[in-house]
Structure 1
Amino acid sequence: MTAARLHYELARHRLTSGMEVVVAPDADAPGVTVNLWVEVGSADEQPGGTGFAHLFEHLMFQGSANVASGEHMAIVESLGGTVNATTSNDRTNYFETVPRGALDLALWLEADRFSSLAITAENFDTQRQVVKEEKRQRYDNQPYGDLLELLLEQHFQAGHPYRHLTIGSMQDLDGASLDDVASFFNAWYPASNVRLVLCGPLQPDEGFELAERHFGQQPAVAKPHRAPVPTAQPTAERLMRLTRPVPHSLTYLSWGAPTASAADQPALSLALAVLADGNASRLHRALVRNSDIANEVHSTLLPNRSTSSVAAILGRPSDGIAVDALSDALLGEVARFIEAGPTEEELARAVAQYERDWLWDLATTAGRADAINEAWLVHGDPGRVNTHLAEVLSVDPDDVRKAAATWLSPEDAHELHYLAEDLR
């Protein structure tokens, strides 16, 4: 399948409850994916009330009117299915892939917890402790565990909704009441704020009928209003330097980038890929292979729906090389890239990698359903799943150079020097 011929069938329908549904038929798929995106993430939390969006990722598996705690996951897995949930700044998603014959059951399980979640003091206290342990394992007790938090501090002012980590503040969770938690659920989890994608061996009419049967009877209330997001204000100090007990020193260069839906997002993604994605990338060849200044270089793009995204390049210096020297070398290479742009060969490599990854994601019903919901949230159009790769393939070297010049200017870079303690 090539980008010019992506033509996944998508049928769209609104239920009487206000929930919107897309059915993506795939007659050859071995199972069907149920993918629900709730339009609430950590960016929708109020100051002093962070961590609630992620908390519900856990609470949603703790039982409902007709399903005991833990049974949702146990039932799906006993049928040979898979089930999970994730949270980001902009959404919380719940998804399972089940055998075709279990679709009705999977939708019943989802509808039961969306309409009658057991928000009890016991469940809240238990999952609050689970989240605390997750934070200890993923952030507090991990080398470089505070890197993301520091990076966000460089790009968003205090109180900005995109500044705090998705996992939230443990102090906020400790101070939350059961009423606070229930109010968050009631505000953000009505059917009107949920998008459902069904992908697999079923026809649209059947998918819509099943969705209406299970979700159509939920109260039809207005979609919640998202507060306007203030303009991001990066810190005035371009350089942050700190020391931690970590194995290696690192340097992070980062920039404010366009929102996830911006027209030049594909060109910027390709610029970062040409610069620092893999051993054939520009920075790896220049600084790792040819000059031994760095042991490794990588790039990343953290997209945000309603405010500036963050683009970053990470470098780990070789033994005997100062972090400042590596940072200067990285900025020098970025400046040269902005001046000349990528070669045809470099861009072709980056596009080929992007195309491979995108088609790999779309190859499964789970990956395709998630991509459909992401296109729906970011662009307001689930059909963008069919056109996105063509947009990427249309990017030329000058588009990439212009995106780099706009968003990766060395003069605008923030530097985060993460220095390893000398433990000798």
Structure 2
Amino acid sequence: MTKSAFVALIALLTATHLVSQEVTFEEYDLSNGLHVILHNDDTAPLVTTSVMYHVGGKDRTEGRTGFAHFFEHLLFEGSKNIERGKWFEIVSSNGGQNNANTTQDRTYYYEVFPSNNLELGLWLESERMLHPVIDQIGVDTQQEVVKEEKRLSYDNRPYGQLIIEVGKSLFKKHPYKDPNIGYMKDLDAATLNDVVAYNAKYYVPNNAVLVVAGNIDIPQTKKWVKAYFGDIPRGEAVTRNYPKEDPITQESRIQTYDPNIQIPAYVIAYRTPGFRERDAYVLDMISTYLSDGQSSKLYKKMVDDQKQAVQVGAFNVGQEDYGMYLVYALPVGETTGETLIAEMEEEIAKVRTELITERDHQKLLNKFENSFVNSNSSVAGIANSLARNYLLYGDTDLINKEIEIYRSISREEIQEVADKYFKPNQRVIIDYLPKEAQAN
């Protein structure tokens, strides 16, 4: 067999494998605006019930930051029919697991149960949406929970403030300038009326998507969905009109200090487009090219060969309205920040001005093929993807066709996008320093 024939055979087998991974689903709307997505998978006796609300850290007014993250905790307090503090007990005693998470753009709640407990999962999420108990006791309790989380994950964690400082430096008008977890003074100042109003505005069926994925009977599931969610009142339409950022046209540099670190970090940050834009997919590929694995350009050069950095990386922080692109390094020994910044810029400049090799391009495509397959390897992962693709991207079927976007990205497009966003006059440099350096 010739080399070209062998390559063609491998491509055919890969394409056949990916087609076999296609996720089938059915979607429809209830009369109250709740979007429903059902996916049947009978390979394991499990089911995931999940609700994603289109509300995140950016959805707030000035002086009331962090509400979406706060609600991630608050809506586990209990409901009209669930005694306070019993939510997790109900789930675990019925063989299930549950959790929630919040970003700047959405909040996601989910349960994984044995499939014979599907109705229980639907009831729990309908209770959360229909009549959660929101009172002063719950507000006071969860304020303390959030404060402790902030202390552990941000205030007292090495480099815990880094991403927050990047947001502050890249955004001056848009709510992305403030951390997803919010400022504790804002939560302390919040009244019960503030909290109740926030719930009524955002945690409504027409601002959410329900996904049921796993070993399910579709007709029966539809009956339960209608029974548990059909009578929940529609809320007012949520409108968003966040201020636009002015373009960054001049490099700026800031210094910030962290008492929890001994090794500084040097960051080059750029403001990038929201994750629905095609350019955002290209930026994902660039970050993989620069820093994914020990053979990546930044790691091999600065860690392995030149031994200038103990750690180096590049990643694209995808968000709905704007993204953030970070390249960072932590020095070895006496290596200066200026040296690290110059070395990182050298690799970024190569992507701006030169085509990556055909071999590196093929490696990138292979990595994204593998990532695509792995993302659909579990029912819980499928449920998350279905919810996200519908709610944030407006296209549920991205779960099957997103890989085609990556496949279509050429070497020329990678260079073009790098040159578009990574010019030196469009960047912010952050010196993230140990606290003791502030006194010197």
Q: Which TM-score band applies after superposition, normalised by the shorter structure? A: over 0.9
- Equivalent-residue separation in structure 1 for 2:235 and 2:298 (angstroms): 52
Q: CA deviation at 1:263?
A: 1.2
- Equivalent-residue separation in structure 1 for 2:226 and 2:147 (angstroms): 38
Instruction: Please point out which of 29, 33, 56 is paired with 2:71.
Output: 56
The aligned residue for residue 13 of structure 2 is none
Instruction: Please point out which of 257, 268, 274 is paired with 1:259.
Output: 274
- Equivalent-residue separation in structure 2 for 1:237 and 1:283 (angstroms): 22
Indicate the SS of the match to 1:162. helix
Instruction: State yes or no: 1:23 paired with 2:33.
Output: no
Contact 2:251 2:424 survives alignment (8 Å): no
Deviates more, 1:232-241 or 1:245-254: 232-241
Q: CA deviation at 1:222?
A: 3.7
- Equivalent-residue separation in structure 2 for 1:323 and 1:41 (angstroms): 35
Describe the shift of the 1:236–1:35 C-alpha distance in structure 2 as closer, same or farther (beyond 3 A): same
- Equivalent-residue separation in structure 1 for 2:257 and 2:355 (angstroms): 35
Instruction: State yes or no: 1:223 paired with 2:237.
Output: yes
| Structural mapping, 1:39-78, within 5 Å | 39-78=54-93
Describe the shift of the 1:222–1:137 C-alpha distance in structure 2 as closer, same or farther (beyond 3 A): same
Query: Unpaired runs of 5+ in structure 2?
Result: 1-15
- Equivalent-residue separation in structure 2 for 1:359 and 1:226 (angstroms): 34
The aligned residue for residue 354 of structure 1 is 368
Instruction: State yes or no: 1:372 paired with 2:386.
Output: yes
Q: State the identity as a percent.
A: 29
- Equivalent-residue separation in structure 2 for 1:75 and 1:90 (angstroms): 29
Instruction: Please point out which of 215, 218, 226 is paired with 1:212.
Output: 226
Q: CA deviation at 1:206?
A: 2.8
Deviates more, 1:279-288 or 1:203-212: 203-212
The aligned residue for residue 393 of structure 1 is 407
Describe the shift of the 1:243–1:39 C-alpha distance in structure 2 as closer, same or farther (beyond 3 A): closer
- Equivalent-residue separation in structure 2 for 1:369 and 1:229 (angstroms): 32
- Equivalent-residue separation in structure 1 for 2:66 and 2:266 (angstroms): 29
Contact 2:201 2:236 survives alignment (8 Å): no
Instruction: State yes or no: 1:37 paired with 2:52.
Output: yes
- Equivalent-residue separation in structure 2 for 1:419 and 1:87 (angstroms): 28
Describe the shift of the 1:237–1:336 C-alpha distance in structure 2 as closer, same or farther (beyond 3 A): closer
The aligned residue for residue 192 of structure 1 is 206
| Structural mapping, 1:23-422, within 5 Å | 23-157=38-172, 159-231=173-245, 238-245=252-259, 246-306=261-321, 308-420=322-434, 421=436
CA RMSD of aligned residues (A): 1.9
The letter for the 2-side match of 1:137 is L
- Equivalent-residue separation in structure 1 for 2:21 and 2:407 (angstroms): 13
Deviations 1:80-106 (A, max 9, x none): 221000111111110111111000011
The letter for the 1-side match of 2:49 is V
- Equivalent-residue separation in structure 1 for 2:337 and 2:379 (angstroms): 44
- Equivalent-residue separation in structure 2 for 1:413 and 1:248 (angstroms): 23
The letter for the 2-side match of 1:181 is V
TM-score normalised by the chain length of structure 2:
0.91
Indicate the SS of the match to 2:176. coil
Deviates more, 1:238-247 or 1:104-113: 238-247
Contact 1:41 1:53 survives alignment (8 Å): yes
The aligned residue for residue 8 of structure 2 is none
Describe the shift of the 1:91–1:229 C-alpha distance in structure 2 as closer, same or farther (beyond 3 A): farther
Query: Unpaired runs of 5+ in structure 1?
Result: none
- Equivalent-residue separation in structure 2 for 1:392 and 1:293 (angstroms): 32
Contact 1:156 1:233 survives alignment (8 Å): no
Indicate the SS of the match to 2:83. coil
Q: CA deviation at 1:164?
A: 0.7
- Equivalent-residue separation in structure 2 for 1:56 and 1:412 (angstroms): 36
Contact 1:358 1:389 survives alignment (8 Å): yes
Tell me the matched-pair count: 422
Q: CA deviation at 1:229?
A: 4.1
Q: CA deviation at 1:218?
A: 0.7
Indicate the SS of the match to 1:42. coil
Indicate the SS of the match to 2:36. strand
Q: CA deviation at 1:336?
A: 1.6
Describe the shift of the 1:99–1:386 C-alpha distance in structure 2 as closer, same or farther (beyond 3 A): same
Q: CA deviation at 1:233?
A: 5.6
Deviates more, 1:363-372 or 1:238-247: 238-247
Q: CA deviation at 1:203?
A: 4.2
- Equivalent-residue separation in structure 1 for 2:249 and 2:223 (angstroms): 52
